[in-house]
Amino acid sequence: MINLREISQKFNIEEEFGVYENAEMSRRFSFKVGGKTPLLIEPLTEDALLKALNILEAEKIPYFILGGGTNIVFSDNGFDGVVISAVKLNRIEQLAADGDDVILKCQCGVLMNTLVNYAVKNSLTGLEEFCGLPGTCGGAGYMNARCFNKEISDVVGTITYFDKNSSKNDASGGIFEKKTLSYDKSLWQYKISPFTGTDKVIVSVEFRVRKTSDSSIQQKASEFMKERVEKGHFKFPCAGSVFKNNHAFGKPTGKIVDELGLKGHSIGGAQIAPWHGNIIINRENATSKDIKELVEFVKEQVKEKTGFELEEEILFY
Ligand SMILES: Cc1cc2nc3c(=O)[nH]c(=O)nc-3n(C[C@H](O)[C@H](O)[C@H](O)COP(=O)(O)OP(=O)(O)OC[C@H]3O[C@@H](n4cnc5c(N)ncnc54)[C@H](O)[C@@H]3O)c2cc1C
């Protein structure tokens, strides 16, 4: 257990952080599972986020960054450290660019759906496919989220992030500093960004959009949302696709699971969606253990019957 009182004091500064001790976390995850964390903080400014990272590094306290919690299965045992939530960093700025090109600079906690609505309202096109994508810009950047054949790497510009400066590393741990990364195609792959699996913290993401006089963009965005609803994305708590697709399999992972007759299979309160082989739902009071066991079950079945090795897209914390 971390020394809650001591560390909580360091964040007890009203203008800089929201602070929640012994926080129940399940409602912060789209799967609605998971235990408690001794300390949850919500930095209100980018400087506060930087301060938090530097304090926690210096104190050697484990932490992780939480976006919208829509791709995470959070442990029933909780997390013995500090969860840093990005939700209060939610400013969108419109930056001028050349001709009809516009840059939308979004702090990491801006919800993707809010961003799409903002763009459409301002007659800016390029993001409609992301309408209804749960989660934040930071999370989508980290995951290189992909919707209807468009991925974040297709629209991203410069990303601002905090990174440990190795030259300042000393006995008290690394010191974070602000850096920027311009878009470089070679650093992005299917569901992998330059941030995936690193401890870099995305502060803001720039999206490249274009001015348009085409008034149908609102309808286009609504149609993408409608398709999600029809696919049953929002019927039960879930985290979207559980497994990555893989061209080598010759068909979508959901179809493979479907063909093995696994749709509807349950372990505890977790169930493979009866309408989609690549979605696991929290049918009734599931635990993260139920979800983990069901994921392992599907992987074993698929390996045994087809030889394919599925790779999880959802993250276990
Ligand atoms: C109903 C439903 C439908 C979905 N549909 C899709 C879909 O069509 N396509 C798709 O790609 N995904 C989909 N998802 C999955 C999920 O929405 C995306 O992966 C989303 O981009 C995750 O964003 P988040 O903010 O919720 O990230 P979280 O789940 O909070 O975090 C995911 C990872 O990103 C890291 N992270 C978050 N913010 C930051 C930051 N600022 N800096 C560094 N790291 C950070 C976290 O530490 C974690 O490792 C769906 C999920 C649901 C529930």
| CATH number of the domain encompassing residue 72 | 3.30.43.10
Nearest CA to ligand 1 atom 5: 240
The number of residues in the chain equals 317
CA of 295 to the centre of ligand 1 (A): 18
At 174, the pLDDT band (50, 70, 90 cuts) reads low
Residue 15: active-site member: no
β-bridge pairing 315-316 and 72-73: parallel
Residue 280 forms beta bridges with which residues?
A: 272
Which residue among 108, 127, 133, 146 has the greatest number of ligand 1 atoms within 8 angstroms of its CB, and so is best to mutate?
A: 133
CA of 133 to the centre of ligand 1 (A): 9
What is the DSSP secondary structure assignment for residue 136, as one 8-state letter?
B
On the question of pLDDT at 6 being above 80, the answer is no
CA-to-CA dists, residue 111 to 48, 138, 245, 294, 310, angstroms? 20, 9, 25, 29, 29
Residues within a 6 A CB radius of ligand 1: 30, 64-72, 86, 108, 133-136, 138-140, 142-143, 145-147, 195, 201-202, 233-234, 238-240, 315
225 located within any domain = no
Domain boundary among 193, 220, 247: 220
Domain boundary among 58, 85, 112: 85
- Mean pLDDT for the stretch of residues 298-306: 98
100 located within any domain = yes
Nearest CA to ligand 1 atom 11: 145
CA-to-CA dists, residue 199 to 80, 92, 143, 227, 277, angstroms? 18, 24, 13, 34, 32
At 1, the pLDDT band (50, 70, 90 cuts) reads low
CA of 305 to the centre of ligand 1 (A): 30
17 located within any domain = yes
What's the domain range around 111? 92-220
229 located within any domain = no
At 165, the pLDDT band (50, 70, 90 cuts) reads confident
32 located within any domain = yes
What CATH number corresponds to the domain at position 129?
Answer: 3.30.465.10
How is 19-84 classified by DSSP, letter by letter?
EEEEEE-GGGSTT----EEEEEEEESSHHHHHHHHHHHHHTT--EEEESS-SSEE--TT--SSEEE
Question: Token pair of 194, please?
Answer: 């330059």
User: Do 258 and 301 touch, CB atoms closer than 8 A?
Assistant: no
CA of 70 to the centre of ligand 1 (A): 5
Nearest CA to ligand 1 atom 51: 240
- Mean pLDDT for the stretch of residues 22-38: 97
Which pLDDT value is given to residue 97?
A: 73
Nearest CA to ligand 1 atom 6: 240
CA-to-CA dists, residue 132 to 92, 234, 264, 292, angstroms? 18, 10, 25, 26
227 located within any domain = no
CA-to-CA dists, residue 54 to 17, 60, 204, 278, angstroms? 14, 10, 18, 39
Distance of alpha carbon 150 from alpha carbon 174, whole angstroms: 36
- Mean pLDDT for the stretch of residues 89-98: 91
Closest by Cα among 96, 90, 67 to 208 = 96
Averaged pLDDT score across all residues of the chain? 94
Question: 65 with 111, same domain?
Answer: no
User: Do 76 and 197 touch, CB atoms closer than 8 A?
Assistant: no
Provide the percentage of residues in the chain whose pLDDT is more than 90: 89
At 170, the pLDDT band (50, 70, 90 cuts) reads low
Handedness of CA 267, 272, 275, 279 (dihedral sign): positive
- Mean pLDDT for the stretch of residues 240-260: 96
Which residue among 30, 50, 71 has the greatest number of ligand 1 atoms within 8 angstroms of its CB, and so is best to mutate?
A: 71
CA of 142 to the centre of ligand 1 (A): 8
- Mean pLDDT for the stretch of residues 237-262: 96
50 located within any domain = yes
Distance of alpha carbon 14 from alpha carbon 307, whole angstroms: 55
22 located within any domain = yes
> Of the residues 75, 153, 204, 241, which is catalytic?
241
Question: 242 with 301, same domain?
Answer: yes
How is 171-225 classified by DSSP, letter by letter?
TTEEEEEEEEE---GGG-BTTB-TTTTS--EEEEEEEEEEE---TTHHHHHHHHH
Residue 304: active-site member: no
Structural domains of the chain, count: 3
Question: 141 with 125, same domain?
Answer: yes
Q: Give the list of residues 6+ apart from residue 109 with CB closer than 8 angstroms, or none.
A: 67, 85, 86, 87, 88, 89, 90, 136, 137, 138
CA of 98 to the centre of ligand 1 (A): 31
Which residue among 142, 156, 226, 241 has the greatest number of ligand 1 atoms within 8 angstroms of its CB, and so is best to mutate?
A: 142
Q: How many CA atoms lie within 13 A of 244 on its CB side?
A: 17
What CATH number corresponds to the domain at position 289?
Answer: 3.90.78.10
